[in-house]
Chain A
Amino acid sequence: MKTVYRMLAIAGAMSLGLSAAQPQEKDKLKVGVIATLSGPPAVLGQQLRNGFTLAVKNLGGTLGGREADVIVADDELKPDVAITKVKALVERDKVELVIGPIFSNILQAIMKPVTDAGVILISPNAGTSNFAGKECNPNFFVTSYQNDQVFAVSGKHAQDSGIKKVFLMAPNYQAGRDALAGFKSAFKGEIADEVYVPLNQLDYAAELSRIAAAKPDAIYVFLPGGMGINFVKQFRQAGLADTVTFLSAFTVDESTLPAQQDAALGFFGGANWAPDLDNPQNKAFVAAYEREFGAVPATYAFQSYDAALLIDSAVRQLHGDLGNKDALRAALMKADFKSLRGNFRFNVNHYPIQDFYLVKVVKRPDGKYQTQIVKKVFENDADPHAKECPMK
């Protein structure tokens, strides 16, 4: 028993010693990155991590003038694992900001553990409607978009370009239903059919035959990751690409194109950015990313690069002192940095107000594939949920 007390006493003394040593300004700024780095979606998590580390490298290993210590964790796309990992980041590593995640279900899991601890959470990808609306959170910022905005891009384009009959398809879960609802909010023409497939279906032979039989002008699909890779290849193989316009959300981008290749050429998507977006900071970013990682960056990479620039700007405004959380939130809210997408400011719900583009898959002269901007579809677009957010 005595030894137990002694150990407790030592442990107590140690923790006292630690906390006494802690609030030194100007020491390293600890930042946690949580992303999916295992399993098939690891490609997306790697883009997120690479974008962030590239930004820190370009800033000379600092964020806002303080030396940066970036700690990367893998959520394994499992909410329970994600909670354990962010708790370790927040409680053990004492990070001041957390950047991540890729997937919405992970965001739902880590939101409370991070923000309740008074730590700022910046999402460079997942942007669900609940946190944009009623459950908006003062410690939560988004540098990507709210999903509905991307869904509406294809719908608006179909409406404007005189497409009359569209066949819709998405996986049978909440985001899939949101994706089709988002499209229909902007498209008033005829819907040939609406098909929901099981999540992670691989072979679309039956659905492709239905599409061929329905003879639509266009199809609109939301099939992220591996689903999209398979569907795009099979759509092309079925000979439908010659007669049916391919509209999509999160189905063809730089993370899936290395596998889709020629099969995706000429297919459309909606996005807030593309590698060819014409501004000097973006050109430098794309060139640096390709040199460093040998791959074309996708939105995941650019949005986390922007997250790093956002942190840099806020820490700089506060001269490195992040003790006052109100001041930190206000500094972040100013978004005083040159976003790679150009136009960028935060709405009251801490989601961006930005432009959205119709993008198209092209093959570059060097043989790599990327999306390219066709036209601007929405300008200074705010998500529809911001009005439900109680923050002012």
Chain B
Amino acid sequence: MSTALLIVQVLNGLQLGVLLFLIAAGLTLVFGVMNFINLAHGVLYMLGAYLAVTFYAVTGSFLLATVLALLATLAFAVLLELAVFRQLYERDHLDHVIATFGIIIFLNHGVKLVWGPAPLSLPIPDMLSGSVRLADGLLYPWWRLVIIAAGLASAGALHALIAHTRLGMLIRAGASHAAMVSALGVNIRRLFTLVFGLGAMLAGFAGIMIAPILSVEPGMGDTVLILAFVVIVVGGIGSIQGAFVSALVIGLVDTLGRSFSVDILRLVMGPSPARTIGPAIASMLIYLLMACVLYFRPTGLFPATGR
């Protein structure tokens, strides 16, 4: 277990963390502002990836494909909000879960009808396809560094938007006293649509950034959705700051656990049982973490104020 390897694994953890943040940010915003559970959030992540593949095939430019895919995801999300989700805000959480679960099934099949069941892939832009040498024999792909940078930049922009703009003020106000904001003459419906579109765009962006690394396939949003829920529960529902910290913590715990659990267990037991128990413990770690947070701080690490 050398220092170089540790540094690389920390980078890997950060990369997973910022990706989870991009997805969880929208989820926690929608939950925080509208008190709406959107299971279909992962589908938007999948949609971003698929749209990027399609636009890349048409335009041949990664940057252009990213912009077009983001706009298309935004448009689709707004349509979805107006057509379906708007009818659900007044209902209880069970209705949210059932309806958005239906959307997942519907869109997973829809994607299969449009793009086929075979996995698709999006190439890394040529400029960024190499690796950077961190130490002897330890290479790190440029693209993963790009993901970290893009994720951190998005987090910064989101923070600026929420903390320092009029729109951000309305979002914060809407999160704690929606009725009051509405009474003051703000069009709360339009605010909701806007927040929903913003969250969808962030999820779509995560999908686009990960598409060159993972295969783009139907149902790719389902696994990541569970992790995103863990992130917002640990971070505190409705809190962007909480989602950011907890996404990074979860990314690091998961990655470092997977990398070093066997080596650590080998210190206290033989190699064979360590190989059996290590991976099992590693895949449980983030859920153990969530259980601990729920026990000691049931509202999460950074509970949103005013809720």
Contact = CB atoms under 8 A, between A and B. Distances in A.
B117 interface: yes
A200 B213 contact: no
A264 to B, nearest CB: 11
B218 interface: yes
Interface stretch (A14-22, A151-159, A228-236, A382-390): A228-236
B118 A43 contact: yes
A233 B213 contact: yes
A98 to B, nearest CB: 23
Contact of B9 (A202, A206, A261): A206
Interface string A27-54: 0000000000011101100100000000
A12 B95 CA distance: 47
A239 B130 contact: yes
B28 interface: no
A194 B219 contact: no
Contact of B223 (A202, A212, A261): A202
A209 B215 contact: no
A238 interface: yes
Interface string A347-385: 000000000000000000000000000000000000000
B38 interface: no
A239 B141 contact: yes
Residue from B5, B217, B256, B280 with most neighbouring chain A CB atoms (10 Å): B217
Contacts of B2: 213
B166 to A, nearest CB: 38
Contacts of B213: 203, 230, 233-234, 237
B5 A42 contact: no
Contact of A203 (B5, B9, B214, B280): B214
A338 interface: no
Contact of B12 (A38, A205, A256): A205
A198 B226 CA distance: 15
Contacts of B258: 197, 206-207
Range class of the A interface residue count: 35 or more
Contacts of A226: 119, 215, 217
Contact of B215 (A42, A195, A233): A233
A172 interface: yes
Nearest to A263: B121
B16 A259 contact: no
Nearest to B139: A239
A212 B259 contact: no
B164 to A, nearest CB: 34
Residue from B4, B16, B213, B280 with most neighbouring chain A CB atoms (10 Å): B213
A233 to B, nearest CB: 7
Given A205-B16, A209-B12, A209-B138, A194 B215 contact: no
A205 B279 contact: no
Residue from A226, A240, A256 with most neighbouring chain B CB atoms (10 Å): A226
A87 interface: no
B141 A237 contact: yes
Interface residues of B, number: 44
Contacts, number: 106
A200 B223 contact: yes
A215 interface: yes
Given A194-B275, A205-B12, A259-B120, A213 B137 contact: yes
A57 interface: no
Contacts of A112: none
Interface string A98-133: 000000000000000000000000000000000000
Contacts of A256: 119
Given A198-B279, A237-B129, A212 B119 contact: no
Interface string B1-39: 010110011001001100000000000000000000000
A213 B279 contact: no
Interface string A185-229: 000000000111110101101110110110100000000001001
A258 interface: yes
Contact of A196 (B215, B218, B279): B279
Nearest to B121: A259
Contacts of A209: 5, 8-9, 12, 138, 259
A213 B5 contact: yes
B178 interface: no
A237 B138 contact: no
A312 to B, nearest CB: 30
Given A206-B258, A210-B5, A259-B121, A40 B218 contact: yes
A194 B263 CA distance: 12
Interface of B: 2, 4-5, 8-9, 12, 15-16, 112, 117-121, 124, 129-131, 137-141, 143-144, 212-215, 217-220, 223, 255-256, 258-259, 262, 275-276, 279-280, 283
Q: A-B pairs with the 10 shortest C-beta distances?
A: A205-B12, A42-B117, A239-B131, A229-B215, A239-B139, A259-B119, A209-B8, A206-B259, A213-B5, A196-B279
Interface of A: 38-40, 42-43, 46, 172, 194-198, 200, 202-203, 205-207, 209-210, 212-213, 215, 226, 229-230, 233-234, 237-240, 256, 258-261
23 contacts: A38-B117, A39-B117, A40-B218, A43-B117, A43-B118, A46-B117, A172-B279, A197-B258, A197-B279, A198-B283, A200-B223, A205-B255, A206-B256, A206-B259, A209-B5, A210-B5, A212-B137, A213-B5, A226-B217, A233-B215, A238-B141, A259-B215, A261-B121
